[in-house]
Structure 1
């Protein structure tokens, strides 16, 4: 928390919301850990009110759950949760792939290709894991953006925070970045050809592989407890 500085033009509770979310994703706060509103206010040197508002936003995102003592605990991702989240992703992102083939301009396809090249360069130069996760996330976001379907984007927006939570955990293990990039490329190559059947199949396979890997990570964590 020593490097955290307040930005006065932005409401305090939104700044705390962003900071607490970052701390959840980077593991500063562990799944199942109880957050103490009073202690957080003391640590940040502010009143409890903006902390409380930030925590309520995180509850709406699904990253915090209310406990029986009028407090909050960090969300613990379960196997059932990821299975439900990935069913949503498979349906909606497969549709996004089809729509990109129908709707995306050549310049937009070039942007997706450039994004894949940037990801490969980042992996080869050994940038931080968080940056590669962000690049992989961008690939999926571009597909949704270039589907040119605002309702599809809104549907995914409701679960995007939890999807990001899944992506962070899904990077555990050897060579995950290269595996994910290779699967993204397979999807894109079929999209460029206009082959909906194969593009959708590769996207479904990619998400299914992610799901199985993530379930394995969660089971390992459970075994270590």
Structure 2
């Protein structure tokens, strides 16, 4: 927290909201950990009011859940959550792929291809995991943007924070960056050909692979936690 500096033009609670969200995604706060509003205010050197407002926004995002002691606990992703989130993603992003084929301009198709090249370059130069996750996120966002469907974008926006939470976990394991890039390329090649059926098939398979990988990560974490508690 020593590197955190306040930006006076931006409301304090929004700055704390962004900072706390980053700390959750970076693993500074662990799933299931209880956040103490008073301690956070003390750590940041501010009153409790902006911290409280920030925590309410994080609760709205789904990253915090209220506990029975009028406090908040860091959201713990469950296998059921993964299944529910990805059912939404598969439905909406499969539709986005179809719409991109109908709606995207040639320059926009080229922009998606450029984004894949940027991701490949980042992987090869050994970029930080956070950078590669951001680039992968951009691939999916470009498909939504170029679908020209604002309602689809709004529906996905409601779960985007939890989707990002999944993306961070999804990078656990060997060669995940290369695997994900390969699957993105398969989707893109069919978009470029204008083959809706194949593009939807590959997007569905890509997201289903994510589900299975995430389930494996969560099960491994449960096993590790059980082992730790029984020592």
TM value normalised by structure 1:
1.00
C-alpha distance in 2, partners of 1:8/1:171? 35
Match in the other structure for 2:169: 169
Compute the RMSD of aligned alpha carbons. 0.3
Matched, 1:223 2:223: yes
Match in the other structure for 1:27: 27
Q: Which of structure 1's runs of 4+ aligned residues deviate more than 3 A?
A: none
C-alpha distance in 1, partners of 2:48/2:111? 44
Local SS of the residue matching 1:65? strand
Q: Displacement, 1:107?
A: 0.4
Match in the other structure for 1:73: 73
Matched, 1:91 2:106: no
Local SS of the residue matching 2:181? helix
C-alpha distance in 2, partners of 1:69/1:11? 28
Match in the other structure for 1:127: 127
C-alpha distance in 1, partners of 2:150/2:51? 32
Matched, 1:181 2:181: yes
Structure 2: gaps spanning 5 or more residues: 226-231
1:2-40 C-alpha deviation (Å, 9 max, x unpaired): 110000010000000000000000100000000000000
C-alpha distance in 2, partners of 1:158/1:222? 28
Would you say how many aligned residue pairs link Structure 1 and Structure 2? 225
Match in the other structure for 1:14: 14
Q: How do residues 130-145 of structure 1 correspond to structure 2 at under 5 angstroms?
A: 130-145=130-145
Local SS of the residue matching 2:30? coil
TM value normalised by structure 2:
0.97
C-alpha distance in 2, partners of 1:2/1:162? 27
Q: Displacement, 1:214?
A: 0.4
